Structure 1
Amino acid sequence: MKQSFVYILKCSNTSYYTGVTSTLTSRIFKHNTGFYPDCYTFNKRPLELVFYCEFTDINLAIETEKQIKKWSRAKKEALINGDFDKLVNLAKKKF
């Protein structure tokens, strides 16, 4: 099965960019060299790869990418830092 990756880049303005690819090294290189001029990251270089995970099912990778994109900054940082216990509490809504 073909590998897919979900990745998070930290941009020079400290924002995060989440993406999905089947060629992680190549994609990061393209982001950092400005290969995608219309991409969110183009004017936010240099970029740092701060998280990635591997998938064997591209559909699951895409679903995970979409889920992470909806997360708060705090929840993304918990994932990046490996604070998996915090993810549950950060998912709770405050009313």
Structure 2
Amino acid sequence: MPYTYIVRCADDTYYVGSTWDVEARVWQHNSPDLGATYTRSRRPVTLVWSCWFDSIEQAFAYEKRVQGWSRRKREALIRGEYDALPDLSRRAAVQRRAAERDGGFEAQA
């Protein structure tokens, strides 16, 4: 089954990936020569979030999406705070829509 996953590295950074087998991939990240270059110098890594998808293409697309997110937004995802995700967007348009939805939008002159 295809997954998107997030691991926390020893230096408290996050790595986002996609795979068919999460357990095997986390093991690879912690091995001396099989993990991603990014995680090799940041071992050990710990799985903090994963989600399965219907296809590897969907998992890969979500991986790329989450890779562009801020640390705060990734941590909200990890905590399962899905309602907070739009408010944590870097894009001003998304933040404006969220503010309008909540009634807190003030028009800019």
For residue 32 of structure 2, what is the amino acid of its counterpart?
A: G
Deviation, 1:24, is 1.1
Q: Gaps (5+ residues) in structure 2?
A: 93-109
Q: What aligned pairs does 1:72-87 form with structure 2 within 5 A after superposition?
A: 72-87=70-85
- Inter-CA distance 93–37: structure 2 relative to 1 (3 Å threshold): closer
- RCO higher in 1 or 2 (8 Å CA, sep ≥ 6)? 1
* Runs of 4+ residues over 2 Å off in structure 1: 34-38
Aligned length: 93
- Give the aligned CA root-mean-square deviation in angstroms: 1.7
Identity rate, percent: 37
Greater per-residue strand proportion = 1
Picking from 35, 58, 61, the partner of 2:59 is 61
| CA deviations over 1:32-75 (Å, ceiling 9, x no partner) | 12233661000101111000000121111111000000000000
**Length-normalised TM-score, structure 1:** 0.90
**Length-normalised TM-score, structure 2:** 0.79
